[in-house]
Structure 1
C-alpha cells in the first residue's frame, strides 16, 4: 500500500510557461524555453554523473547566458538578462489539474511530499501561491545528497527523510527519466503524461500512467 505520494516539482506541479514571457522581455524568443530547461537538466545531471554538484539556479544561469550570447543579433547584457529570467521561477503557478488532485489525495489520508532538482524555497513559494502548502508534509530538494535526480542517492535521501520503505512511496513526475530513476531506486512511480506521448522503451515502466493529475486519487484507491 502506498503511504507517501512524492511529487516532482518543475513541470509536474509548476507550470514553466510564464518563463516564455521573461525570455521575450530580454529580447530572446519564447520558444527557447524547452531548449534552455532541457540543457539545465542535462548539465546538472552531467555534474552528478561526474561526482560533482552545483545547484539549479547556478546551472540554469550559466546555461542561459551561453544561449543568449549565441543568439544571432542578440547584444544585451547576458548577466542581467539571465537574472531576470531565472528569477521567474519564484513566480510560477501550478498547473490547472494540481489543486483538486492535491486536495483529493490529502483527503484519502496519504502523506504528500515533494522532491525537486530545484530548491525547497521555490517549491514553498509555488505551493503557498496556490494555497496548497499545508497539504504537504515535507518539501525536499537535492542539495543535501548533492546529487540530481535520477541518481539513486536523491531518492534514497527522500525515503530516509520520509522514514518510509521505498516501495511505500509513489513518485509522480512528467519526466520519464525521473520515473525510471525512482523505479530503479525501489520506489513506485506514476507517469503524468499530459501531452499523450509514447513512453520511452529503454526506461523502467511506470506503475501507473495518467494524463490528468486529478485521475490519480481514483487510480490509487481503486
Structure 2
C-alpha cells in the first residue's frame, strides 16, 4: 500500500465544540449531529441526482431550517447560523491524530485528505495541529464536484498522489465512507472512535482500529 486517504470531518476533526455553538445560539447542543446528518443527506442526494453544492451552502440552509423549527427559535436565525458555521474554522484535531499522521508518514505512506467539506478549512485544521507539512495533498469534493461516497471523489484523491485505487487505503470514522471507498477499489479502514458496531449491510472494512494512531501502528508493523 502506497497511500492513505483520510476523511476529515469527525475523522480528523473533533466536532464536539460545535455543540457549544448551538447552545450559544439558543438551541440544544444535541441538534448538532442531526444538522450534520442532514448536510450529508442533501450532499449525497444532489450527487445521486447529478447535481452539486458546496458544503457551506448546504450547511447554512440546514441550519436556517433547523433553528427556525426549534421550540424557541433565535430572533436572528441567519446570524445564529453564521455563528455556528464560524466554529468550523476553529475546530481542532482529535488528540491521536498528530501521532497517527507522523507514524504513517515515517512508514513511507503518501498522505492525502479528501473531505466533503471545504479543503481550505482542512488546511487550517492541519496547520493548527502542526502537521500540514506531512500531507502530499489536501483535497475536497469541489475538485470532482461529486460528494463521497461517489467513486469519482476517491479516484480524484488517489490520482493526486499518483497511485492506483488498489494501492490506497481510505480511513474514516463513517461506515458509508469506508464502504464507498471499497466499492471504488480502495481498501477501507474504519476508525471506531467509541462506536461499537459496523453496519452489516455495508461492505466490511479491510481494517478496524480504535483511532488513527492505532491504525498507523498496525500499518507500520510486520504484518502490514
Counterpart check, 1:79 vs 2:78: yes
Match of 2:195 in 1: 196
Moved over 4 A (4+): none
- Report SS of the residue matched to 1:134: helix
Decide whether the 8 Å contact of 2:103 with 2:217 is kept in 1: no
Q: Tell me, which stretches of 5 or more residues in structure 2 are unaligned? A: none
Decide whether the 8 Å contact of 2:74 with 2:80 is kept in 1: no
Q: CA offset at residue 78 of structure 1?
A: 1.1
State how far apart, in whole Å, the 2-side matches of 1:75 and 1:60 are. 17
State how far apart, in whole Å, the 2-side matches of 1:95 and 1:218 are. 17
Decide whether the 8 Å contact of 2:6 with 2:112 is kept in 1: yes
- Report SS of the residue matched to 1:10: coil
TM-score by length of 1: 0.97
Q: CA offset at residue 169 of structure 1?
A: 0.7
State how far apart, in whole Å, the 1-side matches of 2:211 and 2:46 are. 33
State how far apart, in whole Å, the 2-side matches of 1:145 and 1:212 are. 28
State how far apart, in whole Å, the 2-side matches of 1:220 and 1:75 are. 48
Match of 2:23 in 1: 24
RMSD between superposed Cα atoms in Å? 0.9
State how far apart, in whole Å, the 2-side matches of 1:212 and 1:41 are. 22
State the number of aligned residues. 221
Decide whether the 8 Å contact of 2:116 with 2:141 is kept in 1: yes
Counterpart check, 1:88 vs 2:87: yes
Q: CA offset at residue 76 of structure 1?
A: 1.8
CA deviations 1:30-88 (Å, max 9, x no partner) are 11110001111011111111111000000000001000000112242111110110111
Counterpart check, 1:161 vs 2:160: yes
User: In terms of mean alpha carbon deviation, does 25-34 or 73-82 score higher?
Assistant: 73-82
CA deviations 1:126-184 (Å, max 9, x no partner) are 00000010111100100011110001111111122221110111100000000000000
State how far apart, in whole Å, the 1-side matches of 2:40 and 2:119 are. 17
- Report SS of the residue matched to 1:190: strand
